[in-house]
């Protein structure tokens, strides 16, 4: 079993180190211009209709909400191509507005995908030989480090298995492959604000999970150059409304999770266009119903003890008649010896 595990690990590393074969169609010269003209308006840096962004290779490979739009070598399975061939009046045709792709543009897109959807220099970086030791070092720390898709060298690095042992010093291991990291899970690790400096410049990072760490507002200020960041999980951290100001620099950020933090609903409004999940909140308890106030008509206008005007809400019922008093002190005295004072109540009717 151990030999099989070692063989699998070796094959994984080889896969990461193998460059994608070059095709005849150039992404930079022929495909990117088509996407820029026809798709970026709805699926670019400023707007991502259907959570789909097509202006970078990393986002094209990511797809929309976990669903791929590009399958290298399979244009008929790739919605990136298929939807452009639908009739202009079809509800799913892309682009949905304006001119559709010409037959020549469709043919270029189809051929590019059929040849392997090679992005060339604009695409995911091929791991240099010097990075073998860095990948092995990450594995030695218990990190899962694997490509996010078959046809890319972009990495998903997940420290979940050894989270309780990971510190700021371990994040230095990421620098050797930082341009390749697309997804990074540091949840429940022992990292601090200082350690986040190692993440600066991860230009292809789309998903970052920092949940249940000691990260504060100061840490968020250290995240610079994350030009592709789409998803950020800060659940259970110490960030507040003040820290969200640092996130305004990320034009691509669309999903932010801040449950059990100091972030308020009002503070979340600092990031318009971003889905900010502040967590479940218990509904406010309804106010207990007010007890109905009994209205009793007292028979007298003057207090039999003080001679002052009575307070109609303060009274004592004596022999079936409500005797009004001016205050609770007089009420107590009357209640204790009503026969002593009832003679002063002219309105009182004696029973026959």
Express each pLDDT in 151-199 by its tens digit: 677 889 999 999 999 999 999 999 988 888 989 999 999 999 999 999 9
Whole-model pTM?
Answer: 0.54
To 5 degrees, how large is the angle CA 291–CA 295–CA 300?
A: 145
Task: Please provide the CATH number assigned to the domain covering 129-277.
Answer: 3.80.10.10
Distance CA 115, CA 23 (A): 5
E strands, 293-344, are 311-318, 321-325
pLDDT of residue 294: 67
Alpha-helical runs (H) found in 74-172? 79-82, 103-114, 132-140
| List of residues 6+ apart from 263 with CB closer than 8 A | 234, 239, 240, 241, 243, 244, 276, 278
CA distance 26 to 24: 6
What's the rounded Cα separation, in Å, for the pair 201 and 40? 24
Domain residue extents for the chain: 21-120, 129-277, 293-341
C-alpha dihedral, 94 to 96 to 101 to 107, nearest 10°: 10
For residue 11, pLDDT beyond 60: no
What is the per-residue DSSP string for 169-218?
A: GGGGGGGGGGGGEEEEE-TT----GGGGGGGTT-TT--EEE-TTS---HH
Residue 133: CB partners within 8 Å, gap ≥ 6? 176
Residues 36-63 pLDDT 10s: 889 988 998 888 888 899 988 888 988 8
Length of the chain: 352
């Amino acid at each position: 079993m151990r030999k099989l595990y070692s063989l699998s690990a070796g094959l994984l590393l080889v896969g990461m180190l193998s460059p994608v074969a070059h095709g005849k169609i150039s992404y930079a010269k022929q495909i990117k211009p088509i996407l820029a003209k026809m798709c970026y308006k709805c699926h670019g840096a400023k707007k991502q209709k259907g959570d789909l962004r097509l202006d970078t290779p990393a986002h094209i490979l990511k797809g929309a909400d976990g669903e791929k739009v590009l399958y290298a070598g399979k244009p008929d399975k790739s919605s990136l191509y298929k939807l452009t061939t639908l009739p202009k009046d079809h509800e799913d045709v892309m682009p949905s507005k304006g001119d559709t792709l010409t037959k020549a543009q469709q043919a270029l897109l189809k051929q590019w995908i059929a040849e392997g959807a090679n992005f060339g220099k604009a695409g995911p970086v091929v791991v240099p030989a010097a990075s073998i030791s860095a990948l092995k070092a990450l594995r030695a720390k218990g990190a899962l480090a694997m490509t996010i898709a078959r046809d890319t060298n972009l990495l998903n690095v997940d420290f979940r298995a050894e989270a309780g042992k990971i510190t700021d010093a371990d994040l230095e291991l990421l620098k050797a492959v930082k341009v390749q990291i697309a997804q990074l899970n540091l949840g429940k690790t022992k990292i601090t604000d200082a350690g986040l400096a190692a993440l600066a410049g991860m230009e292809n990072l789309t998903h970052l999970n920092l949940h249940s760490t000691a990260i504060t507002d100061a840490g968020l200020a250290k995240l610079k150059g994350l030009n592709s960041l789409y998803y950020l999980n800060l659940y259970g951290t110490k960030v507040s409304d003040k820290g969200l100001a640092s996130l305004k620099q990320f034009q691509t950020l669309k999903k932010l999770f801040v449950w059990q933090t100091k972030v308020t609903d009002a503070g979340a409004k600092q990031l318009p266009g971003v889905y900010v999940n502040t967590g479940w909140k218990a509904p406010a308890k309804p106010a207990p119903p007010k007890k109905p106030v009994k209205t009793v008509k007292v028979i007298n206008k003057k207090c039999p003890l003080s001679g002052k005007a009575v307070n109609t809400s303060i009274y004592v019922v004596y022999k079936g008649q409500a005797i009004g008093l001016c205050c609770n002190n007089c009420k107590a005295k009357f209640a204790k010896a009503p026969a002593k004072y009832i003679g002063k109540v002219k309105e009182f009717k004696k029973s026959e």
